[in-house]
Amino acid sequence: MSTGTPPAGPGTEDAGERPRRGWRGLGWLAAALAALTALCALAAFTVWGPSASSGEEPAPRPGATAHVELTTLERRESLDGTLGHPRAGSFFARSDGVLTRLPDVGAELSAGDRAWEIDDRPTVLLRGDVPAHRLLEPGVRGEDVRRFEQALSELGYGGFTVDDEYTWLTAEAVRNWQRDTRGMEVTGTVDPARIWYTSGPVRVTSHEVAVGSDVGPGTALLDTTATERVVRIDLDVDDRGLVAEGDEVTVEMPGGGTATGEVASVGTVAEAGEESQDGAPGEEGGATVEVLVLLPDDAEGFLDRAPVTVEVRGQSREDVLAVPVGALIALSGGGYGVSVVDADGTVGEVPVETGWFSDGLVEVTGDGIGEGTEVVVPG
pLDDT above 90 (res 214):
yes
pLDDT of residue 48: 35
pLDDT tens track for 286-333: 899 999 999 998 888 899 899 999 999 877 889 999 999 999 999 998
Sign of CA dihedral 99, 101, 105, 110: negative
The CA R_g of the chain, rounded to the nearest whole Å, is 47
pLDDT tens track for 278-293: 554 444 458 999 999 9
pLDDT of residue 55: 52
Whole-angstrom Cα distance, residue 33 to residue 162?
124
Q: pLDDT band at residue 57, thresholds of 50, 70 and 90?
A: low
Identify the residue with better confidence: 83 or 47.
Answer: 83
Q: pLDDT band at residue 134, thresholds of 50, 70 and 90?
A: very high
State how far the alpha carbon of 243 is from the alpha carbons of 19, 77, 162, 240, in Å.
106, 10, 40, 6
pLDDT of residue 6: 39
pLDDT above 90 (res 65):
yes
Poorest-pLDDT segment among 91-100, 143-152, 154-163, 271-280: 271-280
Query: What is the residue type of 270?
Result: A
Q: pLDDT band at residue 240, thresholds of 50, 70 and 90?
A: confident
Whole-angstrom Cα distance, residue 76 to residue 38?
68
Quote the percentage of the chain above a pLDDT of 70: 80
pLDDT of residue 333: 87
pLDDT of residue 220: 97
pLDDT above 50 (res 158):
yes
pTM of full prediction above 0.75: no
345-350 LR contacts (CB < 8 Å, sep 24+): 345/58, 345/59, 345/61, 345/62, 347/59, 347/62, 347/376
pLDDT above 50 (res 197):
yes
pLDDT above 70 (res 3):
no
Whole-angstrom Cα distance, residue 327 to residue 73?
17
pLDDT tens track for 246-271: 999 999 999 889 999 999 999 999 88
For the segment 231-238, the average pLDDT, to the nearest whole number, is: 93
pLDDT of residue 246: 93
pLDDT of residue 328: 96
pLDDT of residue 256: 87
In 10 A of CB 327, how many CB atoms? 24
pLDDT above 50 (res 62):
yes
Whole-angstrom Cα distance, residue 117 to residue 99?
6
How many CA atoms does the CB half-sphere of 375 hold within 13 Å? 29
Q: pLDDT band at residue 7, thresholds of 50, 70 and 90?
A: very low
Q: pLDDT band at residue 221, thresholds of 50, 70 and 90?
A: very high
